[in-house]
Structure 1
């Protein structure tokens, strides 16, 4: 059911060094939600002084207006990019953003734009996420409850996303809340993206994890686990496959993947099960194909990873 009785207005902040995809991704999703001639969302581009800026790719961007400290009825979207570090040193900008966040609109960030919200005090006491490469920067803001393994986090009127393409995920979640699942699905189909890549999913695809290690044996093992999660991946089996003893394998996993071997296998199986749930397979078949074998084991894994029962998850997303 579409809960929007009038169009939602969104100011998108532009600045020198902004990441163009952080801007274009969510904006295009909101534009695609204007289905059947109905203007559900209106976006307006603003800069600090109303003057043109250059994105980090060099493209010149011309705003519609200056960022105003008050804009009744307007949401505010802060994208990321190299230019974020410059914004962090502008007290006037941070004060304006803080005032805007205290108004009646929603506050959204993409990528390192969350650091601007943190510096402005908007995220104090809130759960939030940002790009994984900004881990060190997040430590400057201990009042924020950072969770960098999330794609997007929404808490009240404050919404943060991990960066780049996850701005689309955040926009889809907002569209679904505003306009209903049918509208969000139509937008996802238009953009050819996954509607079900939820905020609980890891920021990077698991099959890329092997690229974060310089060891060919570990990389090959990771690829096998990802492509064949249904096999018996006990610690001993993984160690034999990688040609290491179990203790060495566990140490290498912790160092390069930041999980124990068992934790990594469970994450892979959960992600595989999620994709199988989309095909409306019987739950016992999903448990077998994803490597859990036992349905109860799969239920417990979903509870650990998503905080909901498997049946609830399937109702919401499958």
Structure 2
């Protein structure tokens, strides 16, 4: 069940809804029934102006098999939703009766307004973590995690992370093999576990290097499976190695060699999560030996690659 209201963020609803709908289809039906609820019921306009049908919050009867998630919104809309008694009452009921309850993105503030965050570890959009901590100091706000599970409460960070959280719920309900099929059908780039940071090193690099090294950064992403030297990067950038090292470090706040190592490690992590063996990933990441790869991966992530794969990949 998704709780919506006038001006809610559409992706908070559409992304997770697509996950559950596809999971139900692949499971043969009868596993998930999607319900949207709002204070007044009927058509509710999202922030993009698209109307979404809904039932009235007060007429719903929750069961111990339900999952109830409240969507987020922009600041002004969210403040109004935080004062809406019908929404708060429904979330309080969910906390007492539902199998799972929680929020997507800034919907965490609504949980706080309902008095549900005391002693809870939660997540929300990174831009709002400071404000959430100020308003609800009794909650343990995680500043950069994709989603957090604390007992029966699930909270996710920025909009697209609702998809990651829904995938984790589907995996818990239906198993990793089916969750992997859902991910493939939705053409998800990678499975992102909740402990992963909200911040993408690649996105930050694109932003930082957009003026001088945007083309080079894209080139690196397309050649991560190869043995690349800093001299190769300098050649692609059309500079001498010395000049390239100086300008790249100044623009990116990281040396070329270190940046290349970081991207290769992230690439290797994604391959492991996709089900590739350590031996295969060693070759695809451009390492000379499995021992060198295992050492580098463990130093970077604090866990051996084989164990990371076991903990984080979907089944086939």
Tell me which interval the TM-score lies in, with the shorter structure as reference length: 0.7 to 0.9
| Structure with higher helix content | 2
The 5-angstrom pairing of residues 1-318 of structure 1 reads: 11-35=1-25, 37-67=28-58, 71-73=62-64, 74-82=66-74, 83-90=77-84, 93-140=87-134, 141-194=136-189, 196-203=191-198, 205-213=200-208, 216-217=211-212, 219=214, 222-223=217-218, 226-228=221-223, 231-232=228-229, 243=244, 245=246, 249=249, 253=252, 267-277=262-272, 283-284=278-279, 286-287=281-282, 289-290=284-285, 295=290, 298-299=293-294, 302=297, 308-316=303-311, 317=313
- Alignment RMSD (CA, Å): 3.8
Contact (CA 8 Å) 1:80, 1:163: kept in 2 or not? no
C-alpha change, 1:182 and 1:243, in structure 2 (3 Å) is closer
The Cα offsets for residues 251-284 of structure 1, whole Å up to 9 and x where unpaired, read as x656xxxx89887655423320023336765535
Q: Is the 8 A contact 2:104 2:157 kept in 1?
A: yes
Aligned equivalents of 2:304, 2:10: Cα separation in 1: 38
TM-score by length of 2: 0.75
The alignment partner of 1:49 has SS state of coil
Greater Cα shift, 97-106 or 211-220: 211-220
Compared with structure 1, are the counterparts of its residues 46 and 300 closer, same or farther at alpha carbon in structure 2 (3 Å cutoff)?
farther
Q: Residue 199 of structure 1 aligns to a residue in which SS?
A: coil
Q: Is the 8 A contact 1:47 1:66 kept in 2?
A: yes
1: CA distance, partners of 2:295 / 2:129: 30
Structure 2 gap segments, 5+ residues each:
235-239
Q: CA deviation at 1:43?
A: 1.9
Distance 2:302 2:59 in 1: 40
Tell me, what secondary structure is at the counterpart of 2:103? strand
Is the 8 Å Cα contact of residues 111 and 131 (structure 1) preserved in structure 2? yes
TM-score, normalised by the number of residues in structure 1: 0.75
Query: SS of 1:112's equivalent?
Result: helix
Distance 1:90 1:157, change over 3 A: same
Instruction: Give, in whole Å, the separation in 1 of the partners of 2:139 and 2:242.
Output: 41
Aligned residue pair count? 301
Q: Distance in 2 between matches of 1:215 and 1:242?
A: 18
Q: Give the whole-Å Cα distance in 2 for the aligned partners of 1:209 and 1:305.
A: 18
Query: 1:98 and 1:232, CA in 2 relative to 1: closer, same or farther beyond 3 A?
Result: farther
Q: Distance in 1 between matches of 2:96 and 2:196?
A: 30
